[in-house]
Amino acid sequence: MKDKTVIMQSAVADVSPEDFMHPGLRMCRFVFCDDQPNDNGQGVAAEDFDSIIKTGIGTPIKMKFYGQAAGGHTGSIPIGYIKDMFKRVDDGINQLVADAVLFADEYPEEVQFLADSHEKGEAPGISWELKYSESIIKDGIEWLKGLITRAATFVGHPAYGTRTKILALASNRELSDEEFVDAFKDIFGTISPKNENEGGNNRMEEELQSLKDKVAELTSQLEAKDTEISSRDTSIETLTTERDELKTTVSEYQTRELIASRTAALVEAGITLPEDPDKLAFKQAHWAAMSEEVFTSTVEDLKEAISTAAKKIEKPQESLAEKLQNKRPASLPRFSSASVDGTEGDEQPTFSGLKTKFKTISRTSASAESE
């Protein structure tokens, strides 16, 4: 399972001014966590304290200092490290306590701020950072498992409230050489004796310098990692922007393609496009907004309507001669010579016979009109 990182917080509390610390170092003891849920709905069981202890020794104590307040995790820098951790029970609650060394000479303003704000009861909280590989949800609480300690950071708002707090913050008083050596043994273990033959140089100074060099190296590595993370965040943001721009471009081209294909389909169906660009663009936007089903049905209806209209236009018009032909009687009366001069109907009439016939018709019409 992929590692996850969680950031927890603890608060500061009263310390004894009698606790010892080297003038260039300040020692603080605080409750790293307990086995109760915090305000974020997460918790660490007492059975997992050993994992935190195993991975917590040597991890940094960090802070981002604004001159009058502590910031958050982003931009924080190491001002010390965790020297030791141990378990204890307080009022029936399992606690994990940490001893930390602060670099007062290297970060005098930060350490003095912690001391002054603690004396006023306004000290920032301690937020601890853990990696975890899995978690278990029980009664609505997420219990973290597979823990690896990353760091502890002074921040403005603790998540554990006052349950996790600083138990001791050493005073910054000058010490004699003997007091310093004895106290340093308590903190760092056995050290080499003072070398009287080399002008008072002490092996302790070499070890202290070695520790400072190691801290500087770790600090440099942390800063490099922070820079790398920041660069990756910037790259991710850039890639996300480019992706969104590409999606927009693809969408625009898809819309243009759809408009072009549907316009072509309508032209093929027989639709005449408007010459005015604005009217054409309006109609094309309307066509593009149609669903595929609606557009297909519309094209089919248009094709059918245009086809019907075309058939009516293609039907030939009757000529005037054809109209007169269709309206005249089936046959005109024929005159035969039989009715005029006694000849048979099949014989050709003579001029005199026709003349007599027309005179008869003329008199008949005049007689009819007088009636």
DSSP helix/strand/coil, 22: coil
CA–CA dist 360, 338 (Å, integer) = 14
Q: What is the CATH number of the domain that holds 51?
A: 3.20.16
| 148 & 270 share domain | no
Q: Examine residue 51 and state whether it is found in any structural domain, yes or no.
A: yes
Torsion of Cα atoms, 347 then 352 then 358 then 361, to 10°:
-80
- Tell me whether residue 124 is in a domain: yes
Given 168, 191, 214, the domain boundary residue is: 191
- Asked if 186 and 269 sit in the same domain, the reply is no
Which range, 40-44, 210-214, 366-370, is most confident? 40-44
> Is pLDDT larger for residue 362 or for residue 366?
362
**What is the pTM assigned to this prediction?**
0.44
Residues 161 and 279 placed together within one structural domain of the fold: no
Is the residue at 92 inside a domain? Answer: yes
Does residue 288 carry a pLDDT above 50? yes
On whether both 179 and 283 belong to a single domain, the answer is no
> Does 158 share its domain with 10?
yes
Note whether 8 and 133 are same-domain residues: yes
Specify the residue for token string 């992706």.
243
Asked whether residue 55 carries a pLDDT value surpassing 80, the answer given is yes
Is 60 a domain residue?
yes
- Rounded mean pLDDT of 328-351? 54
Instruction: Return the ∠ at Cα 115 (arms to 148 and 154), rounded to 5°.
Output: 30
Nearest to 127 by CA among 12, 204, 221: 12
Answer yes or no: do 274 and 175 share one domain: no
CA distances for 246 relative to 232, 241, 243, angstroms: 21, 9, 5
Answer whether residue 248 is part of any domain: no
The model's pLDDT over 144-178, given as tens digits with 9 standing for 90+, comes to 999 999 988 887 777 777 787 777 777 655 444 55
Q: Decide if 341 is inside a domain.
A: no
Residues 286 and 140 in one domain: no
Tell me the average pLDDT of the chain. Answer: 76
pLDDT over threshold 50, residue 179: no
Beta-carbon count within 10 A of 249 CB: 10
Among 172, 191, 210, the domain boundary falls at 191
Give yes or no: residues 168 and 279 share one domain: no
Judge whether 125 and 68 are in contact, CB under 8 Å: no
* DSSP per-residue letters across 236-254: HHHHHHHHHHHHHHHHHHH
In a domain, 139, yes or no: yes
Q: Higher model confidence: residue 354 or residue 254?
A: 254
Asked if pLDDT for residue 50 goes beyond 60, the answer is yes
Does residue 104 fall inside a structural domain?
A: yes
The parent domain of residue 145 ranges over 4-191
Instruction: Dig out the tokens for 316 from the structure.
Output: 């030939």
Three-state DSSP at 293 gives: helix
Q: How many domains does the chain have?
A: 2
* Element housing 269 (H / E): helix 203-269
